[in-house]
């Protein structure tokens, strides 16, 4: 039999949402942190036009997209790398800076793909405890080992939804040795831009990368466009690993157009925040435990993993899919993506009736 290399054979496939809708029910998907509405009409038009030239390879330098990002965030275009989703950038960074002789560190309830990327690079994955679902800088600094090479922090966090201040992230950077790479993953950054000043200036220190994506606030998850601001030396190494034709023509064109349409993106963030806060208020009135979120999802904490199994089965039987969080070490939690008002209303109603049955 042909065998895979050992570390791949030992890995489980990355767990995405399972959306098996029971016969006769319609799908209510609150499971993948997708945007509650399609992308900007300008992005849709740009993607359709780009397909006309689909017999040609896409721009390997992402020139138009980088220029749009550079202008929007007032950052140097040369420092920007665009990925096939920010997942590609997370994977390539890990491969470039960690291996089987060292370790990657992240908060205990971090985005599960940090662990997967670490396993792919054959490195050890260490975690630091969080404090009530919030990243704790002191715990991260205490968890650093002599062989720690990379520290990943998502801010806001997924699946926690919590946010830590710029001051705390600067304190983390200051407390880490200069030869440890800090990756600040701001996949949900647009939902929290109003909270604090941007982090891009930390990249000038030469050992910090800031990642963002078009998958969330810009509603382009299906086009697979992520990006980051990189110090030049790190960008050089990462580019050796990336697929040189990584983002399709339509992906680049729609992303560039979406970035120009800031009004639409900001409107999406406002709509999401309003629906999120209303959904959270309703669930809290029904005595669910729902921490404040700075993203396009909320985390719902239950008394036990058994309760999560029960409520998950109850919701799925009705075609409603929230996301269990065992992968992030939170087996007693479900994550609910903020979707349309109608879907949220149905999901909230189902959660309430599950609770009535559970307590009767
Ligand atoms: C924290 C975080 N980082 C990165 C990603 C990956 O996003 P994408 O590859 O779609 O850009 C996600 C997606 O859910 C995420 O939650």
Ligand 1 site, residue 158, Cβ cutoff 6 A = yes
The pLDDT assigned to 14 comes to: 85
Nearest ligand 1 atom, CA 226: 11
The end-to-end CA distance of the chain, in Å, is 55
Whether ligand 1 lies within 6 angstroms of the CB of 21 is answered as no
pLDDT digits (tens, 9 = 90+) for 140-191: 999 999 999 999 999 999 999 999 999 999 999 999 999 999 999 999 999 9
Give residue-wise pLDDT tens across range 245-279. Answer: 999 999 999 999 999 999 999 999 999 999 999 99
Q: Which two tokens stand for residue 274?
A: 């309003």
CB of 215 sitting under 6 A from ligand 1: yes
Q: What is the pLDDT of residues 41-97, one digit of tens each?
A: 999 999 999 999 999 999 999 999 999 999 999 999 999 999 999 999 999 999 999
Q: Higher confidence at residue 279 or residue 12?
A: 279
* pLDDT at position 19: 86
Looking at domain 41-260, its CATH architecture is 3-Layer(aba) Sandwich (3.40)
Q: Where are the beta strands (DSSP E) in 84-243?
A: 103-107, 124-128, 148-154, 181-185, 208-213, 226-229
Q: What is the pTM of this model?
A: 0.97
The answer on pLDDT for 16 being more than 80 is no
Is the peptide bond preceding residue 248 cis, with omega within 30 degrees of 0?
no
Rounded Cα gap, residues 347 and 353, in angstroms? 10
Domain residues of the chain, as ranges? 17-38+263-359, 41-260
Closest residue (by CA) to atom 7 of ligand 1? 86
Sequence-ordered list of residues with C-beta below 8 angstroms from that of 121, at least 6 positions apart, any chain: 94, 95, 98, 99, 104
What pLDDT, on the 0 to 100 scale, is given for residue 360?
Answer: 80
Give 87 Cα–ligand 1 centroid separation in angstroms: 6
Which atom of ligand 1 is least distant from the CA of 157? 1
Does domain 17-38+263-359 fall into CATH 3.90.1150.10? yes
84 lines ligand 1 (CB under 6 A): no
- pLDDT attached to residue 28: 95
């Amino acid at each position: 039999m042909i065998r895979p290399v050992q570390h791949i054979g030992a890995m489980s496939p990355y767990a995405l949402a399972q959306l098996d809708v029971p016969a006769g029910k319609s799908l209510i998907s609150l499971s993948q942190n997708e945007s509650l509405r399609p992308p900007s009409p300008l992005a849709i038009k740009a993607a359709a036009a780009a397909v006309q030239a689909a017999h040609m390879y896409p721009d390997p330098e992402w020139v138009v997209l980088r220029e749009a990002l550079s202008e929007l965030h007032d950052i140097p275009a040369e420092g920007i790398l665009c990925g096939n989703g920010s997942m590609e950038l997370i994977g390539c960074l890990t491969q470039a800076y960690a291996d089987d002789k060292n370790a990657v560190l992240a908060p205990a309830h971090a985005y599960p793909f940090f662990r997967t990327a670490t396993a792919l690079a054959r490195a050890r994955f260490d975690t630091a405890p969080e404090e009530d679902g919030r990243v704790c800088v002191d715990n991260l600094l205490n968890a650093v080992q002599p062989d720690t090479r990379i520290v990943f922090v998502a801010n806001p966090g997924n699946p926690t939804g919590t946010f830590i201040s710029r001051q705390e992230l600067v304190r983390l950077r200051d407390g880490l040795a200069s030869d440890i790479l800090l990756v600040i993953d701001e996949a949900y950054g647009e939902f929290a831009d109003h909270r604090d000043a941007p982090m891009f200036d930390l990249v000038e220190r030469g050992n910090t990368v800031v990642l963002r994506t078009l998958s969330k606030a810009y509603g382009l998850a299906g086009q697979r466009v992520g990006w980051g601001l990189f110090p030049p030396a790190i960008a050089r190494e990462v580019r050796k690993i990336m697929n040189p034709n990584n983002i399709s023509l339509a992906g680049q064109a729609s992303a560039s157009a979406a970035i120009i349409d800031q009004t639409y993106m900001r409107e999406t963030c406002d709509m999401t925040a309003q629906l999120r806060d209303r959904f959270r208020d309703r669930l809290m009135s029904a005595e669910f435990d729902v921490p404040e979120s700075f993203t396009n999802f909320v985390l719902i904490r239950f008394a036990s993993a058994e309760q999560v199994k029960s409520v998950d089965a109850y919701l799925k039987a009705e075609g409603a899919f929230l996301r269990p969080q065992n992968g992030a070490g939170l087996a007693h939690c479900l994550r609910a993506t903020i979707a349309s008002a109608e879907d949220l209303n149905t999901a909230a109603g189902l959660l309430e009736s599950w609770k009535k049955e559970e307590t009767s």
